[in-house]
Chains A and B, each alone.
Chain A
Amino acid sequence: DGGITQSPKYLFRKEGQNVTLSCEQNLNHDAMYWYRQDPGQGLRLIYYSQIVNDFQKGDIAEGYSVSREKKESFPLTVTSAQKNPTAFYLCASSIQGPWTEAFFGQGTRLTVV
């Protein structure tokens, strides 16, 4: 089955630690995205990538880093510089061009303990 897989579903981080959230897709999509969602709020764009080895910052990139070494994979690292990382993180992908919907993974809920 084609789709987007995020792992883990739940993640606990100690303060000061870096953690990496995994996102893999087998839809052959060129574009991939990372969004953050806080309780009762919409999605805020962290990073997006249109092609392998290229990515752009979204509105809230500070404290996060990404890589796009393979078309299928777009991992997100939440660094210790991110002061309030507790949130629901959603990865998405789409084909290139306008009028193309984004397909979402099931999300990772990150909690700082």
Chain B
Amino acid sequence: QKEVEQNSGPLSVPEGAIASLNCTYSDRGSQSFFWYRQYSGKSPELIMFIYSNGDKEDGRFTAQLNKASQYVSLLIRDSQPSDSATYLCAGQYNNNDMRFGAGTRLTVKP
């Protein structure tokens, strides 16, 4: 079963804090993982992807992958009110099959 699980939240952090979003997956066949941001009523947009164990940084965002624990996370540093959205974790398999988690709703309070 290709399942991706996220804590649906909601998660609330003050402006300037670090927001930590977590995701686990059940199928070790997952090759790569993606974090998307979705504003209400809009389509998802890619933040970053990761496929190797360890950390990957892009500006204020850091993705972390631990294949042994089947765990993916996204850290958002210096959180801004504009970061308030739903964050979707997705796992991709060999045949382009891409499965999403339920999403975590993040609110950044000014």
Contact = CB atoms under 8 A, between A and B. Distances in A.
A42 B43 contact: no
A2 interface: no
A98 B94 contact: yes
Contacts of A42: 6, 88, 100-103
Interface residues of B, number: 26
Contacts of A33: 98
Nearest to A41: B102
Contact of A56 (B8, B97, B101): B97
B94 A48 contact: no
Interface in A7-61: 31, 33, 35, 40-45, 48, 50, 56, 58-59
A107 interface: yes
Contacts, number: 65
B88 A48 contact: no
Contacts of A41: 102-103
B20 interface: no
Interface residues of A, number: 28
Contacts of B6: 42
Contacts of A97: 96
Interface in A85-112: 90, 92, 94, 96-102, 104-107
Contacts of B44: 43, 90, 104
